[in-house]
A = this chain, B = another copy of it.
Amino acid sequence: MIFHTFTEQSLRQFTESVFLKMGCPIADAQLAADVLLKSDLRGIDSHGVARLSGYVRLWEKERINATPNIRVVHETPTTATVDGDAGLGLVVAPFAMKVAIEKAKTYGSGWVAVKNSNHFGIAGYHALMAVEQDMIGVSMTNASPLVAPTYANERLLGTNPMCYAFPAGKYPPVVVDMATAAAANGKLEIAQRANLPIPEGWVQDKDGKSSTNPHQLKDGGSLLPLGSDKDHGSHKGYGLSATVDILSAVLSGANYGPWVPPFVAFLEPSANPVGEGIGHFFGAMRIDGFRPAADFKDHLDNWIERFQSAKTIKEDQKVIIPGEPEYAFEQERKVQGIPIIDVVVKDLNELAEKLGIEGLS
Contact = CB atoms under 8 A, between A and B. Distances in A.
Contacts of A289: 74-76, 78-80, 111
Taking residues whose C-beta sits less than 8 angstroms from the other chain, chain A's interface range is 35 or more
B287 A251 contact: yes
A8 to B, nearest CB: 27
Interface of A: 74-81, 107-109, 111, 113, 136, 149-154, 156, 164, 166, 174, 176, 178-183, 199, 201-202, 204, 207-208, 226-228, 231-233, 235-240, 242-243, 245-247, 250-253, 256-258, 274-275, 285-287, 289-291, 295-296, 299-300, 302-303, 306-307, 310-314, 317-320, 322
A239 B322 contact: yes
Contact of A232 (B178, B182, B306, B322): B182
A79 B289 CA distance: 6
Given A79-B108, A108-B111, A320 B150 contact: yes
Given A109-B109, A313-B152, A77 B77 contact: yes
A77 B226 contact: no
A201 B182 CA distance: 14
Dominant SS among interface residues on chain A:
mixed
A299 B108 contact: no
Given A109-B111, A300-B250, A176 B307 contact: no
A257 B343 CA distance: 44
Contact of A274 (B274, B291, B299): B299
B166 A290 contact: no
A99 B291 CA distance: 17
One complex includes copies of this chain to the number of 2
Given A151-B312, A154-B310, A303-B256, A108 B77 contact: yes
Nearest to A254: B299
A97 to B, nearest CB: 16
User: Which A-B residue pairs are the 5 nearest by beta carbons?
Assistant: A76-B108, A79-B289, A208-B313, A176-B239, A79-B108
A257 B310 CA distance: 11
26 contacts: A76-B108, A76-B109, A79-B285, A81-B290, A81-B291, A111-B285, A151-B313, A151-B318, A152-B311, A152-B312, A152-B313, A153-B310, A156-B306, A176-B239, A178-B235, A199-B231, A201-B231, A226-B226, A226-B227, A226-B237, A232-B232, A242-B322, A250-B296, A251-B291, A252-B291, A256-B299
